[in-house]
Structure 1
């Protein structure tokens, strides 16, 4: 009887209970990560490591020493003509063309031609290509937008300005007069100067006046000395004649 009860009460091998009660001893997580201070964030952003850019393999880019684009024959011819203009003309003015029609341009050319002034048309690409390799490189900023060149073999700024007043579409930007770069106001001031013949006449008159004054100063002392000597001789001759007259009376 006792053995039968013991066999019934002992658990069978490999038997597991249907339910198990597990007790969790962990607590709820109440701590969170503190946010970083704003100054520290800025410091971390400034001191962040930036890796250098990878170098391009050799031959990936064209060499700077080689010219990328060669000038075409038409551009070479226009650059040769432009070089001739700068070599032969003493006045080269840059004028901006603000929507001037063909008829007004023809009238302007005719008025300028009366004073031996010509109008030349060159593209800005050709002009800049020529100026970059010449002594006139400072004129390159003037060639922006539609521009024309007004040239003459003699500096005739006064006639050019008088003609441009009748064409409000043409605005003077600057000029190169006798290898001197001038602004628009500088050209106006240059036109107010007297002509070369007048300046030469004034120079010759001033030099003549100085030389004549120098000659008169050099002749002043000898002339004064000569006048004094002549006065002394006259006085001596008058004294001698006065002494000779009493002696002649005594003798009689």
Structure 2
């Protein structure tokens, strides 16, 4: 028992010495020096300091803000600030003038001008296609797209210019033989119909197919004549119906008012009594 009490007393003494030294150190640091009084003394409590940190923006929101950010248009110079650029008029050469003249004649003489795209067809396929189209009076023409667009720009057919892109071929005919042209194109998968100008009317590929399903001009004229004849005959019948009916009524009235009919009516009345 004696050694244990001695150890306990020794430990207690060491703790007391340590606490005394700590108290002396704190008093020296915290207590103000003699002859010096601080003007302000900060008192800090045990709570943590409130420091606000900005929350980072979400990545999707950053992308949305970057996409929807307003980008002002560039400032345009006021009119008259710079001199107008000089327009350079390029004159056509003799070959271009000749081709344009042929194109003008082609559009005036033919009722159908179809634009067909040539998808890498060889010379043999082109010869067979020309032969089959020639049977129906349809001709194949080749013109440079640049010259074609230059010609169409100043004409009433300017809406055909977007069709002239890439290798193109023109099918022309003096009569609108659309059905025969479509039947011939079915046997040539390398040729694709883009559009056509039929009777000065620009049609798409679907419009050309719909135009081919219409009846011929002779059938339409026959239907029109029969319809007009029927309307005329019905009008004549309606105009003659009322006068004829009125005439029949007047004749019946005259017969009833004549003396012969009145004399015959009296004996019949006596016999009836």
**TM-score normalised to structure 2 length:** 0.63
Q: Is 1:156–2:144 an aligned residue pair? A: no
Partner of 2:153: 132
Q: Is 1:179–2:200 an aligned residue pair? A: yes
Partner of 2:86: 63
CA distance in 2, matches of 1:108, 1:199: 31
Partner of 2:141: 120
Within 5 Å, which residues of 2 pair with 1:1-252? 63-64=86-87, 66-67=88-89, 69-235=90-256, 236=258, 239=261, 242=264
Deviations 1:16-66 (A, max 9, x none): xxxxxxxxxxxxxxxxxxxxxxxxxxxxxx99xx9x9xxxx98xx9721x3
Q: C-alpha displacement at 1:228, in angstroms?
A: 2.3
Q: C-alpha displacement at 1:128, in angstroms?
A: 1.1
Q: C-alpha displacement at 1:206, in angstroms?
A: 1.3
Gaps of at least 5 residues in structure 1 are: 1-45, 247-252
Q: C-alpha displacement at 1:120, in angstroms?
A: 0.3
CA distance in 1, matches of 2:259, 2:187: 83
Secondary structure of residue in 1 paired with 2:113: strand
Secondary structure of residue in 2 paired with 1:199: helix
Secondary structure of residue in 1 paired with 2:155: coil
Q: C-alpha displacement at 1:165, in angstroms?
A: 0.7
Q: C-alpha displacement at 1:241, in angstroms?
A: 6.2
For the structure 1 residues 165 and 238, does the alpha-carbon distance in structure 2 shift closer, same or farther, using more than 3 Å as the test? Answer: farther
CA distance in 2, matches of 1:222, 1:205: 27
CA distance in 2, matches of 1:113, 1:237: 86
Q: C-alpha displacement at 1:211, in angstroms?
A: 1.2
Partner of 1:30: none
**TM-score normalised to structure 1 length:** 0.68
Q: C-alpha displacement at 1:122, in angstroms?
A: 0.6
Partner of 1:17: none
